Structure 1
Amino acid sequence: MAAALRGYVENANGRAFAGLARNLFGNVRLDFSTADEEKSRMVSAMLGACRLTRLEADRHVVFGEHVTAGPNDPDAIKLLVQTEGSALFAQGGLYAPVSQNALVIYDPRRPYMLTNSTPVRQLLLQLPRHALPHAAVERLKRPFITHAEHDGMCRILLSLMDSTMHEIDHLDEARRLSVGQTMIDLVRAMMGAGLPQARPVVNPLDLLLQRIKEFIDIHLARPDLSVATIARRMGCSVRYIYRAFEVEGLTPSDYIWDLRLQRAAAQLQDAGGYAGEISGIAFALGFSSSAHFSRAFRHRYGISPSQWRKARIFVGSVR
C-alpha cells in the first residue's frame, strides 16, 4: 500500500514503509532479511516543532550510517520508546538492550544500528537539534537511556506520546503545537538532570532562526530552496519556520529573495557588465531566468542590474 498524506498525518503500510522511513528520518537503511515486510505499519504527524511517529514491524535491522548525508535530510535529535518487543541499540561503542517501555534518546548524526530481534511496536519522537540545550546535545555523544519503570518523567512522556497518537486526528494546529512543545519541555527536563544551569535560557525560536539563516546562506544558489525544504532540514513544521521569522517582519521566502538580491547587487560591483556575466550572477544565486532577475532587481533597487553596475553604486548603500 503506497504512503498516503491525510492533512498533516502520513501513513505507510507494507513495502511503502521503508520509503516513508527514509523520507521522514533521513538516510536510513532497513533490512528485513527473511522477515515479513508486509506486516509493517507507520503513522506519523507533525506537532509544531516535533514529529511523532508510531510504527510496528516484523523483526528488522535499521542502519543509520549517514542519516544527515544530504541537505534535505532532517537534522533532528531522536527519541525512541519501545512499547512492544525487544531490540539492541548500538552507538559510540555502547550496546544497549531495549526492552518494553525503555526510552533511548540519540543523535542520528552519529552512526548507529538498531537491531529489532522480534516484532516490535515503537514510538519515535524527532526534536529539532536547537530545541535542546547545547550541554544536552553534547551529552548525546553516547545515547541517553532510561526506563519508565525507574523514571517518572519517562512515564509521563510515554503516556503523552501514546495518547497523542490515539487522538491525532482530533487535534487542531494550535493543540498539536502545544502538545509538541510540552514534549520538548519533558525531554529537556529529563536530559537536564545533573547538567549545569549557568547559561540563561535562550528562546528556541531565536536559535531556530539563526540555524535557518545559516542553512539559507549555504544553499542560496539552489533554485529549489523553499520553506518546505528548510522545514524538512530543521526537522520541524512549515508553520514553525514562519513563526521563527515573525520577529523579522517578513516571510521566509521574502528573506531568501531579498538576500539573493543583496548578494547580486554586491557582485555586480565587480562584474564586467555584459549580459552573459549578469545572467551568470543571476543563475548562480538561484534565479530561474534573466528576466525574473531583472524584474526583481528593478523592483528592489529601482534600476536595472546593468544600470546598477554602470553606476558603480557603493556597496554600502545596499541595505
Structure 2
Amino acid sequence: MAAALHRHVDSASGRAFARLARNIFGNVRLDFGTADEDRSRMTSAMLGSCRLTRLEADRHVVFGDHVTAAPEDPDAIKLIVQTEGIASLIQGGLHAPVSRNAVVIYDPSRPYMLTNSTEVRQLLLQLPRHSLPTTAVERLSQPFTAHADKDGMCRILLSLMDSTIHEIDHLDEAGRSSVGQTMIELVRTMIGADLLQARPLTNPLDVLLRRIKDFIDINLERPDLTVSMIARRMGCSVRYVYRAFEDECLTPSEYIWDRRVQKAAVQLQAAGGYAGEISEIAFALGFSSSAHFSRAFRHRYGVSPSQWRKAGMS
C-alpha cells in the first residue's frame, strides 16, 4: 500500500513503510530478514516543531549509521517507547532496553542499531536539536533512559504521547503546536537541561496543569469529560487536579465549559447557516440543551450564538 497524506498526518503500510520511515527519520536502513514487512503500519504527525509517530511492525533491525547523510535529512533528537514487544538500542557502547514503562532518548546522528526482536508497537518523538541546550545534547553521546515508575515527568510524557496520537485528527494546528511544546519542555526537564539556558517546568503542578489543558482540548467533544475522568487519565487524585487550577480564575469544570464555548465560537464563524446548525454544534460539544449553550455563550461573549454567527457571516 502506498504512503498517504491526510491533512497533517502521514501514513504508510506494507512496502511503503520503509520509504516513509526514511522520509521521516533520515537515512535509516531497515532489515526485516525473514519477517513479514507487509504487516508494517505507521502513522506520523507534526506537532509544531516536533513529530510524533506510532508504528507497528514485525521483527526487524534498524541501522542508523548515516542518518543525517544529506542536507534534507532531519536533524532531531529522538525518543522511543515500546508499547508492545521486545526491543533494544545499542549506541556508544551502551545497551539500552526499550520497554513499556520507560523512554529512551538518543541522538540519531550518532551511529546506532535498534533491534526489534519480536513484533513491536512503538511511539517515537522527534524534537529539533536546537530546542535543547547544547549541554543536554552533549549528554546524549549514549542513550538516556527515564522510567515512569521513578520519574513523574516521564509518566506524564508517556500518557501525553499515547493520548495525542489517538486524538491527532481532532487537534487543530494551534493545539498540535501547544502539545508539541509541552513535550519539548518535559524532555528538557527529564534530561536535566541547563537552567541558565532553558525554562523547564520544574513545578509538578505546572506540568500537570499544562497536561490537563492539553488533554481537555483533545477531548472537548467527549460527554464523559469530567474532573474524575481527567484525574484517572492523569494518574492522580481529583483533589490534585483542583490544586493544579488553584492559580487559575476558573475551576477545572468551568475551564472545560469555557473551552467548549470558545471552540463553538470558532465553529460558528465558519458555519454555513442552515437551520439547526447552532444546536448541532452545541450538542456535539457536550451541552445538554440549546438554552444551556445560549446562556454560557452569552456570558462569555455578551451576544447570543445566532448574533455571533450573523456577525461572522456579514
TM class by shorter chain equals 0.5 to 0.7
Aligned to 2:135, what secondary structure does the other structure show? helix
Q: Is the Cα contact below 8 Å between 1:86 and 1:100 reproduced in 2? A: no
Q: Which residue of 2 aligns with 1:197?
A: 195
Does the Cα contact within 8 Å between 2:133 and 2:197 map onto a contact in 1? no
Cα separation, 2, equivalents of 1:200 and 1:93? 29
**In 2 relative to 1, CA 200–111 (structure 1 residues): closer, same or farther, beyond 3 Å?**
closer
Q: Which residue of 2 aligns with 1:83?
A: 83
The alpha carbon displacement at 1:63 in A equals: 0.2
1:128 aligns with 2:128: yes
C-alpha distance in structure 1 between counterparts of 2:133 and 2:73, whole Å: 22
Q: For 2:197 and 2:82, how far apart are their aligned partners in 1?
A: 33
Alpha-carbon distance between aligned partners in 1 of 2:95 and 2:187, rounded to the nearest angstrom: 22
Give CA deviations for 1:66-106 in whole Å, capped at 9, x if unaligned.
00000010000001011111111100000122222221100
User: What is the TM-score when the length of structure 1 is the normalising length?
Assistant: 0.61
What is the TM-score when the length of structure 2 is the normalising length?
0.62
Q: CA deviation at 1:149?
A: 2.1
Relative to structure 1, the CA distance from residue 178 to residue 200 in structure 2 (aligned partners, 3 Å threshold; closer, same or farther) is closer
Could you report, residue by residue, the CA deviation over 1:201-228 in whole angstroms, capped at 9, with x for unpaired residues? 69xxxxxxxxxxxxxxxxxxxxxxxxxx
Indicate the RMSD between aligned Cα atoms, in angstroms. 1.4
Determine whether 1:68 maps to 2:68. Answer: yes
Counterpart-to-counterpart distance in 1, 2:59 and 2:98: 14
What secondary structure does 1:35 align onto? coil
- Number of equivalent positions: 200
Q: Could you tell me how far 1:189 is from its partner in structure 2?
A: 0.9
Q: Counterpart of 2:11 in 1: which secondary structure?
A: strand
Partner of 2:166: 166
- 1:149 touches 1:155 (CA, 8 Å); kept in 2? yes
Secondary structure of the equivalent of 2:123? strand
Higher RCO, 1 vs 2 (CA within 8 Å, ≥6 residues apart):
1
Q: Which runs of 5+ in 2 are unaligned?
A: 201-314
For the residue of structure 2 that corresponds to 1:140, the secondary structure is: helix
Which 4+ residue blocks in structure 1 deviate beyond 3 angstroms? 198-202
| Residue of structure 1 equivalent to 2:216 | none
User: Secondary structure of the residue that 2:51 maps to in structure 1?
Assistant: strand
Matches for 1:96-245 after TM superposition, within 5 Å: 96-192=96-192, 196-199=194-197
| C-alpha contact 1:27 1:66 (8 A) present in aligned 2 | yes
Whether the 8 Å contact between 2:81 and 2:99 is mirrored in structure 1 is no
CA distance in 2, matches of 1:200, 1:24: 27
| Deviation, structure 1 residue 152 | 1.4
Structure 1 CA distance for aligned equivalents of residues 14 and 174 of structure 2? 32
Tell me how far 1:198 sits from its aligned partner: 3.9
| Aligned sequence identity (%) | 76
Report the Cα distance in structure 2 between the residues aligned to 1:151 and 1:58, rounded to whole angstroms.
30
User: Equivalent residue for 1:37?
Assistant: 37
- What secondary structure sits across from 2:191 in the alignment? helix
Instruction: State how far apart, in whole Å, the 1-side matches of 2:56 and 2:197 are.
Output: 40
* 1:242-281 matched pairs, under 5 angstroms: none
1:25 matches 2:25: yes
Distance of 2:128 and 2:78 partners within structure 1? 9
Partners of 2:195 and 2:171 in 1: how far apart?
34
The one-letter code sitting in structure 1 at the alignment partner of 2:28 is: V
Question: 1:197: how far off?
Answer: 2.8
Q: In the alignment, residue 33 of structure 2 is paired with which amino acid?
A: S
Cα distance between partner residues in 1 of 2:118 and 2:152: 27
1:230 maps to which residue? none
SS in 1 for 2:179: helix
Task: Give the match's secondary structure for 1:181.
Answer: helix
Deviations 1:148-195 (A, max 9, x none): 2222111100100000011100100010010000000110111127xx
Alpha-carbon separation, structure 2, partners of 1:44 and 1:108 = 18
Q: Distance in 2 between matches of 1:200 and 1:22?
A: 31
- Structure 2 CA distance for aligned equivalents of residues 200 and 54 of structure 1: 28
- Cα deviation, 1:27-72, whole Å, max 9, x if unaligned, reads 0000000111111010000000100000010110000000000001
Query: Which residue in the other structure is 1:7 paired with?
Result: 7
